[in-house]
Amino acid sequence: MQDRELPPQPRFDLTGQVALVTGAARGLGAACAVALAQAGADVVLGLRDAGRDDGPASAIRALGRRALPLQMDITRAEEISRAVAEAERAFGRIDILVNNAGIGPPNPAEKVTEADFDHTVAVNLKGTFFVSQAVGRVMLRQRSGKIVILSSQAGFVALPTESVYCMTKAGLVHLTRCLAVEWGPHGINVNGVAPTFIRTPGTAKWLEDDAFRNDLLSRIPLGRVGEPVDVTGAVVFLASPAASLITGATLLIDGGFTAR
C-alpha cells in the first residue's frame, strides 16, 4: 500500500529567529524572553535600567541562544531608536517583537492627577506605539515579522481604581487591529494577549492579601490565579509559523473572567 503524503503540520519552532522583548528585566517580560529562547530564538532584552540588571540574559545563554541586553526606557524616544538600531546591527534583523512593558498603578478616578495620567499613557500607549513603529520599520524592510502586544483583561472589563490603566489597555486592543490592517499586506502579523492577574514578583503583595485573592478567584471560573507559563505559551504560539494566518486578534488568557 502506497504511503500517503501527510498534510502540512503546524510549526512552533523559532530557530533562527530574533526576538525583541520590552520590559524584559523580570516578571512576564523575563518569562516571555526565556520562553522564546527555549523555542529557538535569539533574544534582545529591552531594559529600563540596563546598567543595573541584564534581565534573564544568563538563562537565555544557558539554553545555547544569544542574548543582547539593551538600555530601552520606552518613554524615551531616543532610547527606543538607539536600541532598535543596535539590535538590527547586532543580528541583522528583528523577526519578533513582544511589547510587554507597561504599568498599572491603582488610583481612584477622582484622585488621578495629570502627572499620573500622563505617565501611564506614556508607558502603556505612547511607548508601545513608538516601539512598534521603530521595529515595524525594520520588519517592513524585511517584508516579514510578528508583533505581540500585551494588553490585559482590563482592556475588556471595567476594574475599580484602574480607569486609566483600563483605558490604555483597551487602546492597545484597537492599536493591535490598526497595525494588523496597515502592515498585513507587508507580511507582518500583529496580535495581542490579554491576561488576567498573573502570579509574578510584582503582584505578590496583592495575592498575599486574603480578601483580594478570594475576591479575584471568585470571578475566575477556572478557579486559579494565572502563572507566567499560561501567558508565555500564547506568546510563543503567536510568534510562531503556526499562527501565520492570525492577525488583528487579542487572545484572552483570563480563566473565563470576562466570559461571566
User: Residue 9 falls within a domain, yes or no?
Assistant: no
What are the C-alpha distances in Å from 55 to residues 61, 69, 162, 239, 241?
Answer: 12, 7, 28, 21, 27
**Residue 165 annotated in active site:** yes
User: Residue 240 falls within a domain, yes or no?
Assistant: yes
User: Residue 13 falls within a domain, yes or no?
Assistant: no
User: Residue 11 falls within a domain, yes or no?
Assistant: no
In angstroms, rounded to a whole number, what is the distance separating the alpha carbons of residues 208 and 213? 7
- Sign of the dihedral through C-alpha 238, 98, 135, 93: negative
pLDDT tens by residue, the chain, 260 residues = 456 788 889 999 999 999 999 999 999 999 999 999 999 999 999 999 988 888 899 999 999 999 999 999 999 999 999 999 999 999 999 999 999 999 999 999 999 999 999 999 999 999 999 999 999 999 999 999 999 999 999 999 999 999 999 999 999 999 999 999 999 999 999 999 999 999 998 888 889 999 999 999 999 999 999 999 999 999 999 999 999 999 999 999 999 999 98
Sheet containing strand 145-150, edge to edge, reads 67-71, 42-47, 18-22, 96-99, 145-150, 188-195, 250-253
Number of domains composing the chain: 1
Residue 108 cell numbers, joined: 481612584
User: Residue 146 falls within a domain, yes or no?
Assistant: yes
User: Residue 258 falls within a domain, yes or no?
Assistant: no
- Cell 481604581 found at: 161
User: Residue 145 falls within a domain, yes or no?
Assistant: yes
CATH number reported for the structural domain that contains residue 196 in this entry = 3.40.50.720
Residue 179 belongs to domain spanning: 18-253
User: Which is catalytic among the residues 91, 129, 130, 165?
Assistant: 165
User: Residue 153 falls within a domain, yes or no?
Assistant: yes
